[in-house]
Amino acid sequence: MLNKIVNALKTVRINTPLVQAITNYVTINDCANILCCFGASPAMCEVRAEVEEFAEVISALYINLGTLTEEQKVAAVLAAKKATQLHIPVVLDPVACPVITRKMDVSRQLLESAKITAVKGNIAEIKSLAGYKGLARGVDSLDEGEDAVEACVSLAKKYGTVVVATGKTDIVTDGERTCLIHNGSPMLRLVIGTGCMVGALVAAAAGTIEDKWVACAAAVMVMGLAGEMAAASTGGMLPGTFRVKLFDSVYSLTGNDILKGGKITWL
């Protein structure tokens, strides 16, 4: 599996997938930059008059509901439907769906009206979407992960999608294959938007790698390993420096880093 993840990283860097992001305004710049560091090309196209036309040239679509305006809502639905028609991967990040009913409604509308390739969220968001009780505070998960794997598998099977649940241990499943990724750093929680950045990387990988489960696992592991490398280079004490080093670490990550440091188990 680690060799497949190494190949996935190489494939992204060779193909430079164009990722359209309809994402939140808090982290839009970080999502764009992390995509560049990964080897992808970002396009933050979210105007409803443009998204259907633009969908014809993209490799993947990333939809993040973090600061969901009415314009974004309409654009997201239009873009997702168009991408589905064109067989272009769509990644949904249902930010804060456990605590805001409107976001839960939009998440379900997207899941039911378009082909969502992957759903990426924290454990509380995934559990809530799957019909389980997920504990959250705003955009942050307070969930300890009980029944998390079961919820992920259930959601994956219901919508025929890959589910990524981020936390102390990350879960990636397509309903049949499930892996746990143990890479990461506590420093990632001190930088706003690292979850959004993971979602963007998932979209980039899904846009160029045929096996979407492998694509999602690769994106999650890249972020986790980069977090470890960034924390090591800053002594794990300086969040501002860590943020900059995180971009550098995604950019400089090698296949050898993955083979040496990747931590993955299967269920």
Work out the mean pLDDT of the chain and round it to a whole number: 93
Question: Would you say residue 41 has pLDDT above 60?
Answer: yes
Question: Would you say residue 95 has pLDDT above 80?
Answer: yes
CA 30, 35, 39, 42 torsion-angle sign: negative
Tokens standing for 157?
């099977």
Question: Would you say residue 145 has pLDDT above 80?
Answer: no
Question: Would you say residue 127 has pLDDT above 60?
Answer: yes
Beta strands 170-173; 140-141: pairing state: unpaired
Question: Would you say residue 108 has pLDDT above 60?
Answer: yes
**Mean pLDDT to the nearest integer, 204-223:** 98
| Domain parsing of the chain, residue ranges | 2-266
Closest by alpha carbon to 48, among 18, 17, 26, 80? 80
pLDDT band at 10 (very low <50, low <70, confident <90, very high): very high
Give the class (CATH, top level) of 2-266.
alpha beta
**Mean pLDDT to the nearest integer, 131-154:** 68
Question: 254 CB contacts (<8 Å, ≥6 apart)?
Answer: none
What are the start-end ranges of the H helices in the chain?
2-15, 28-38, 51-54, 70-85, 101-113, 123-129, 148-159, 194-206, 212-234, 239-252, 255-261
- Say what the pLDDT of residue 137 is: 41
Question: Would you say residue 139 has pLDDT above 50?
Answer: no
Closest by alpha carbon to 69, among 112, 106, 115, 124? 106
- Say what the pLDDT of residue 234 is: 74
Q: What is the DSSP letter of 109?
A: H
Span 58-85, pLDDT tens digits: 999 999 999 999 999 999 999 999 999 9
Span 214-239, pLDDT tens digits: 999 999 999 999 999 999 987 767 89
Backbone angles phi, psi at 30, to 5 degrees: -65, -40
- Say what the pLDDT of residue 144 is: 57
Residues above pLDDT 70, as percent of the chain: 94
Tokens standing for 188?
């990632």
- C-beta of residue 23 within 8 angstroms of C-beta of residue 66: yes
CA-to-CA distance for 213 and 179, rounded, in angstroms? 9
Q: Which residues pair with 42 in a beta bridge?
A: 19
Question: Which helix (H) or strand (E) is 264 found in, with range?
Answer: strand 264-266
Tokens standing for 22?
């309809």
- Say what the pLDDT of residue 38 is: 98
Q: Among all chains, which residue has been given the structure tokens 């990387």?
A: 201
Closest by alpha carbon to 66, among 30, 36, 39, 41? 30
- Say what the pLDDT of residue 146 is: 66
- C-beta of residue 9 within 8 angstroms of C-beta of residue 218: yes
Tokens standing for 103?
């976001």
- Say what the pLDDT of residue 134 is: 54
Tokens standing for 114?
């378009």
Q: In a 10 Å sphere around its CB, with 0-12 CB exposed, 13-18 middle and 19+ buried, how is residue 56 labelled?
A: exposed
- Say what the pLDDT of residue 138 is: 45
- Say what the pLDDT of residue 267 is: 86
- Say what the pLDDT of residue 236 is: 63
